Amino acid sequence: MKVMKGLFKGLLVTTVLAAIGWVSIWVYFTRVSPIASQVKAVVLQRVAKRHIHFLTYEQLPVGYRQAVVATEDRTFYSNIGVDFFSIVRAAWVDLQQGSFVQGGSTLTQQLVHNTLLNHQPKTVYWKIRETIDAIGLYDTMSKQETLALYANDIYFGHGAYGLYAATQQYFGKPLGALNPGELAMLAGIPNAPSVYDPLRNLHLARERQQIVVQSMVADGVISVTEAKGILQDPIELA
């Protein structure tokens, strides 16, 4: 009985401390340092400077949204801005390699990194800051807006920032005219823009596209049959 009471008290204390911590994070990132406004301001300033057409979440093709989430952050719509399992897995790989090899970052963390922390060196402190900021952003910004800001700011290579510019750069046609195969290829480029640039190395871009499509199958958003059809879509480069 004493053991049970001790466990209950420990659980209660842990729950209370977690609640206090969560409320503190929310207060800090809404009252003291409004992170959602800061991230949005950075992206919109870049959009204006680069003369990019901003795409809302609704304007992002469903196929593109599915491809990005399945490949970059499968738990995006359910996680709290971070995926601790992925972080632990990536940390283990980093320890084995003796350097930052895998990031384990969610789309939310990538957005924080690209906007607020992009000029800071990758250190343990940097990773902790990225994690806390991502949780703060999750608390104060919708998943839809997070994905939209990410898609409008991410670098696609060949001087193209944002999905709209990448569409024009690589395919030279409106976003709505792209087929599922072309959308899947675009979703894979930001992982390594110089490597997966289809204008320079279509073969590697195709290989990355296949990984993206396989991820979509694994995520359950498309069937194996649909995946085969996507991979057979013609790629019409500009």
Q: Identify whether residues 23 and 119 lie together within a single domain.
A: no
Same domain, 159 and 218: yes
pLDDT, position 11: 61
CA 94 – CA 103 distance, rounded (Å): 9
pLDDT of 192 reads 95
Residues 22 and 117 both lie in one domain: no
Interatomic CA distance for residues 25 and 21, integer angstroms: 6
Structure tokens at 116: 């607020």
Specify if 150 maps to a domain. Answer: yes
| Mean pLDDT confidence for 43-58 | 96
Based on the domain organization, do 23 and 50 belong to the same domain? no
- pLDDT, one tens digit per residue, over 88-128 is 665 554 554 454 444 568 999 999 999 999 988 888 888 88
| pLDDT above 60 for 17 | no
In a domain, 237, yes or no: no
Identify whether residues 73 and 16 lie together within a single domain.
no
- pLDDT of 59-74, one tens digit each? 999 999 999 999 999 9
Predicted confidence band of residue 186 (pLDDT cuts 50, 70, 90)? very high
Same domain, 28 and 48: no
Give the domain range for residue 189. 33-231
Q: How far apart are CA 135 and CA 214, in angstroms?
A: 29
Residue with tokens 């390594």: 192
Instruction: Kindly state whether residues 177 and 107 are assigned to the same domain.
Output: yes
12: tokens are 């209660």
- pLDDT recorded at residue 85: 77
* Average pLDDT score, the chain: 87
- Are residues 5 and 105 located together in one domain of the fold? no
Query: In this structure, are 52 and 23 located in the same domain?
Result: no
153 exposed, middle or buried (CB, 10 Å; 0-12, 13-18, 19+)? buried
Residues 212 and 106 in one domain: yes
Count of domains forming the chain = 2
